[in-house]
Structure 1
Amino acid sequence: MTAPEAPPNSTEDPKRKLSPAAQRFAHASSTSLGSTLIKIILVALVDATALFAIFTAIGREAWLIASVIAVITVVINVVYFKKGWLPAKYLLPGTIFLLIFQVFVIGYTGYIAFTNYGSGHNSDKADAVSSLLQSNQERVAGSPGFPVTMYNGADGLAMVIERDGQQLLGDVDDAFAPVDPASLENYTQLKFADLLGRQEEVTSLKVALSDDPAEGTLRTSDGRTAYQYTSSLSYDSNADTMTDQKTGTVYKDTGVGAFTAEDGSQLMPGWSINVGFDNFTRAFTDSSIRGALFSVTVWTFAFAFLSVASTFFLGLFLAIVFNDMRMRGRKIYRVISILPYAFPAFLGGLVWAGMLNKDFGFVNQVLFGGAEIPWLTDPWLAKFAVLWVNLWLGFPYMFLVCTGALQSIPQELSEAATIDGAKPLQIFRLIKLPLLLVSVAPLLISSFAFNFNNFNIIYMLTEGGPRLEDAGLNVGATDILISLVYKVAFVGSQRDYGLASAFSIIIFVIVAIISIISFKQTKALEELN
């Protein structure tokens, strides 16, 4: 006898599918109004920021950047206002940040590596011409004095003069132009006391007489009378030459990013141009740069390898010792061992730099009884000091990693090997170490890459010194490649961003090759699992 069928409306069938209209209603009811408003507000903020960036890029004629920002903004709006596409909603923010902080940075560095961008070549040609004409100005002999009134506006100081019965206003950015006296209410006239208090600003102010650079500028030394200054250089836009009116020397654009005379002398500043592979060629063919680059590269590899090896073996040794259950106070020793890991690297470098000072450092004065050991000024001792301090900072990390890896190895393996007659050293060398390297090897590779670019410890401890006198670059005995890049780009009067970017690309390629080879070698360890 079969049971009677239940009426269709008596129970709810959990497998019964809802109609499309019911699904839309359920989805709409499950979406809170608050989350929708938050989404709209956040996307609106992103759109507003993007519009500001687009207009800024268009104002600077950076059409590619403006187009990229516009495309990204459209994608954000489509993804977050389109129903569904849930994976894209989570992946999009990370992808955008990856493009901005990784892909763009690497791409822009690569672009700079193929230019002469740096000191004297950090703008375009029009700015270079204007800068040359303004920086070589001299007072026109016999020029009449212009009575001037100084004002302070929203953009800084401004001059007001009267010429041909008309008031003219100008500042550092805008040439003199007619001004309505009523509009001066937005400015504050400087009194005598104000002129004295801002004397340096007043005397350094240069206001162009017109949009024609040849007419020069007006400058004042007392805030009361201004005189005309014109450049000793004259620019011929048709011939694209710059002529020194005093000597008659003609400087031409020879394609090197600066006006150059026949004797090779150049007018600075110049402008940025594409130089192809010249920066890479200089790095490997210029003897003064090649020698320094070679010595720094060798020391960089030695520093990275010795740092990884020393921290790993010390950390492994302590992990084995403190992993012995028979040892008393293991927790206290472990806490003490990881204390250096709590120090920021830059702070640790500064502290050790003081302790290793030749004249009054703790190491010389206390541990060596007042000896004057040049830890930071002798090339070899400085290298030893860098390795020692890096060992002090780095072994706690390896200690923690090795401790966790050792504790994850089954104890039964050691017991079985002991029963088979294996000695403790054989158990460690043939069983524990290979299993340990399975999990630690990738960390050793990442540690090598980190120490390859360990800028903090080098610059905070020795600043790359002591200086190598025979090098054509500002480079020291303890400089590694990344600190060399920093010095070439940011230290000294001549900053060569193009050459520094070329060095950065070289570092990127070296680290990438080492990482690929290392990860391929570690695949052999996976069979141990």
Structure 2
Amino acid sequence: MPHKLIAAQRVRPALPIIPASLHTALALWGPRVLGAAVSLIGLLVTMQLYLAGQWLFALVALLVVCAGLFVYMQARSSAWRFLFPGLLASVLFVLLPIAYTVSLSGSNYSSQNLLTFGRATDYLLSTRYMPEGAQRYNFTLITDGKAYRAVLESEAGEAFMSERFTLGGLRKPVPMKAISGPIADHAVDTARLIQHLNTLRALVLQLPDGSTAQMSSLQRFDASRPLYRQNADGSLSNQQDGSVIRPNHQSGYYETSAGERVPPGFTASAGLRQYTTLLTDQGLREPFLKVFAWTLAYSLLTVALSFGAGLLLASLLSWQELEFRETYKLLYYLPSAVPGMIAILIVKMMFFTNTGEVNTVLDAVFGIRPEWFATPALARTMVVAVSVWLYFPYMMMLCLGLIRAIPADLYEASALAGAGPLANFIHITLPLIARPVLPVLIASFASTFNNASLIMYLTEGGPSYLDTREPIGMTDLIASATYNIAFFSGSNFGLAAAISVLLFAIVAVLAFASLRLSRSRGFMD
């Protein structure tokens, strides 16, 4: 048997041995080649972003590539190689969105002011009008060898054909001659027309009477003319009525001498105007202050009631003599196991006025059917009740863990002293869990402060305020009101961004307070 093993080992093929020089070359040049390839890809992405007009994102991509090269290609920065991905993710997904939101709050960006100033100007300069008596023509593009000819047919039946021309490099009008009838041989198909659409839009055809025609649609040319002409001072002259419009970088529109705005609007710097509007505009300030007060009350009530309910249930479930304790824990934790959107929609149907189970019970017992979604006080009561129902299982499990960490000797000594369950709760349980649970309560307060999904699924913010020009409801929290301002009724993204910055500042202060409490010596003790 040993002889067979020795023989097998002798015939086993030897593994290839990498020469030392090749191993050294791979160790030396492998990272450099990989780094060069990644850098080339990053530079290509940067170039594409820059060519697409996204210079800010191109600058960010370039900075990322340069930082990656410095970290991974320098021996003295090896300690940062494991930290760089996390730092990069923090910059891209945390700091950059925050910076973008802050910059957006300093602009008039909205659904009416989406374009940049240059694009708004180009749009107005591309606007055309039809002079009196101008003709419209059916357009056909035909091939003539490697060149093309354009054929126009007027509504009166007159036909014209152009000279031979090539697509691209056309700097002057192409002359047309009258013909006896339209020639459609070798006509270019629609797919090819679309392929050359940008070039055809620049094509100017000069008719025998001296008028010109340009493309107005894929198969139509007409004798329209540019509506605006740009002047040396940046204003635009209306060639149809002779009026002049000038850009107003405060309103973000071109305006006439009478102050009338000419769409489309463009994005302009607003400075602190969004913040001052939020605090000084009567139609926005009062509803916003009401929403802020309601958000504060909702967060306090939700955290206090859910913590109270969770602590009470945790104290009861910690009683060793209680049978089926694990079953009760499972039943109480079920609201957290169901997806939030599904749970909220199911509870919403339970509060329907005519078909909901809640009103069915109230009607049977008290003979009433409250309007939960139409009455402000009832709608807010429903929101708080549903929020507490969703939050208390988390508080219950948290308190169960904290109560379990309390030494049993304390309760035994209290029992020997003749203290009852209520005295144990007040003098032992509550003081010992109050300090470690306080940072969690602050974090929960910040979470409920930002809870827009509950309002969006349950009440949609209703009932609405009638004295505001923005879509704000009486059950709206700041987060849900910001969402409505950003995506409904004018889509005022700049104002929504200003509210988001203020909301971020509030939540950041709460998070900082929570961290300080967590790190305090009293908590550690």
Taking a change above 3 Å as real, the CA distance of residues 404 and 46 of structure 1, as seen in their structure-2 partners, is: farther
Q: Following TM superposition, by how much is the alpha carbon of 1:414 offset from its aligned partner in structure 2, in angstroms?
A: 2.0
Q: Following TM superposition, by how much is the alpha carbon of 1:387 offset from its aligned partner in structure 2, in angstroms?
A: 0.9
Q: Secondary structure at the match of 1:90?
A: coil
Maintained 8 Å contact 1:217/1:229: yes
Percent of paired sites with the same residue: 29
Which residue does the alignment assign to 1:481? 478
Which residue does the alignment assign to 2:281? 286
Distance 1:412 1:387 in 2: 39
- Say which is worse superposed, 299-308 or 431-440, in terms of deviation: 431-440
Superposition map of 1:260-275 within 5 A: 260-275=255-270
Which residue does the alignment assign to 1:148? 139
Taking a change above 3 Å as real, the CA distance of residues 292 and 217 of structure 1, as seen in their structure-2 partners, is: farther
Which residue does the alignment assign to 2:123? 131
Distance 2:515 2:382 in 1: 31
Q: Secondary structure at the match of 2:83?
A: helix
Q: Deviations over 1:393-420 (max 9, x none)?
A: 1111111111111111111122223334
Which residue does the alignment assign to 1:467? 464
Q: Secondary structure at the match of 2:346?
A: helix
Which residue does the alignment assign to 1:218? 215
Q: 2:325 aligns with which of 330, 336, 339?
A: 330
Taking a change above 3 Å as real, the CA distance of residues 90 and 226 of structure 1, as seen in their structure-2 partners, is: same
- For this pair of structures, how many residues does the alignment match? 463
Q: Secondary structure at the match of 1:475?
A: coil
Which residue does the alignment assign to 1:513? 509
Q: Following TM superposition, by how much is the alpha carbon of 1:512 offset from its aligned partner in structure 2, in angstroms?
A: 2.4
Q: Secondary structure at the match of 1:251?
A: strand
Which residue does the alignment assign to 1:202? none
Distance 1:298 1:216 in 2: 63
Q: Does residue 1:315 correspond to 2:313, yes or no?
A: no
Q: Following TM superposition, by how much is the alpha carbon of 1:74 offset from its aligned partner in structure 2, in angstroms?
A: 3.0
Maintained 8 Å contact 1:176/1:207: no
Which residue does the alignment assign to 1:414? 411
Maintained 8 Å contact 1:57/1:63: yes
Maintained 8 Å contact 1:133/1:234: yes
Distance 1:317 1:98 in 2: 40
Taking a change above 3 Å as real, the CA distance of residues 45 and 295 of structure 1, as seen in their structure-2 partners, is: farther
Q: Deviations over 1:32-51 (max 9, x none)?
A: x99x98x8998678546523
Which residue does the alignment assign to 1:76? 68
Distance 1:363 1:410 in 2: 43
Q: Secondary structure at the match of 2:260?
A: coil
Distance 1:467 1:457 in 2: 16
Structure 1 unpaired stretches of 5+: 1-24, 152-158, 179-186, 199-205
Q: Following TM superposition, by how much is the alpha carbon of 1:467 offset from its aligned partner in structure 2, in angstroms?
A: 1.0
Q: Choose 1 or 2 for highest CA Rg.
A: 2
Taking a change above 3 Å as real, the CA distance of residues 65 and 219 of structure 1, as seen in their structure-2 partners, is: closer
Q: Following TM superposition, by how much is the alpha carbon of 1:374 offset from its aligned partner in structure 2, in angstroms?
A: 1.5
Q: 1:115 corresponds to which letter in structure 2? A: S
Q: Following TM superposition, by how much is the alpha carbon of 1:190 offset from its aligned partner in structure 2, in angstroms?
A: 3.8
Distance 1:385 1:456 in 2: 15
Q: Deviations over 1:53-79 (max 9, x none)?
A: 311332245555434322322332443
Taking a change above 3 Å as real, the CA distance of residues 239 and 527 of structure 1, as seen in their structure-2 partners, is: closer
Q: Following TM superposition, by how much is the alpha carbon of 1:52 offset from its aligned partner in structure 2, in angstroms?
A: 3.6
Q: Following TM superposition, by how much is the alpha carbon of 1:138 offset from its aligned partner in structure 2, in angstroms?
A: 3.7
TM-score normalised by length of structure 2: 0.77
Q: 1:342 aligns with which of 326, 337, 345?
A: 337
Which residue does the alignment assign to 2:102? 110
Distance 2:321 2:343 in 1: 34
Q: Does residue 1:445 correspond to 2:436, yes or no?
A: no
Distance 2:423 2:306 in 1: 23
* Cα root mean square deviation, aligned: 3.8
Which residue does the alignment assign to 1:504? 500
TM-score normalised by length of structure 1: 0.77
Q: Following TM superposition, by how much is the alpha carbon of 1:488 offset from its aligned partner in structure 2, in angstroms?
A: 1.1
Taking a change above 3 Å as real, the CA distance of residues 145 and 246 of structure 1, as seen in their structure-2 partners, is: closer
Superposition map of 1:58-73 within 5 A: 58-60=50-52, 62-63=54-55, 65-73=57-65
Q: Following TM superposition, by how much is the alpha carbon of 1:285 offset from its aligned partner in structure 2, in angstroms?
A: 0.6
Maintained 8 Å contact 2:214/2:221: no
